[in-house]
């Protein structure tokens, strides 16, 4: 399996997870998981608790793989 194949699999996984989250948001808009965390994106939009869970997992995973890479340089904030 080449790098391009692996990237395609990872991108497909992300697309599937995004679809799951969008369906959850649509069917459970009042879930506490979607509550405003009090934190904001750079553009001022609120971050919900689900977003904070994503950021924590992303940062932890990337730091485990590449301690020399700053997660903030690679995720939308």
Map out the domains of the chain as residue ranges: 1-29, 31-77
Computed on alpha carbons and rounded to an integer, the radius of gyration of the chain in Å comes to 15
The pair phi, psi for residue 39, each rounded to 5°, is -95, 160
Residue 52 CA to residue 75 CA, distance in Å, equals 12
CB atoms within 10 A of CB 25: 14
Say how many CA atoms lie within 13 Å of 53 toward its Cβ: 9
List per-residue pLDDT tens for the chain, 77 residues long.
Answer: 677 888 999 999 999 999 999 999 999 999 999 999 999 999 999 999 999 999 999 999 999 999 999 999 999 88
Q: What is the dihedral of CA 25, 18, 42, 65, to 10 degrees?
A: 140
């Amino acid at each position: 399996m080449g790098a391009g194949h692996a990237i395609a699999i990872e991108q497909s996984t992300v697309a599937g997870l995004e679809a799951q989250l969008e369906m959850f948001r649509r069917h459970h808009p009042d879930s506490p998981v979607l509550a405003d965390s009090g934190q904001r994106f750079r553009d001022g939009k609120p971050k919900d608790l689900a977003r904070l869970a994503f950021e924590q997992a992303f940062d932890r995973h990337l730091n485990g793989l590449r301690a020399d890479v700053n997660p903030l340089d690679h995720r939308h904030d």
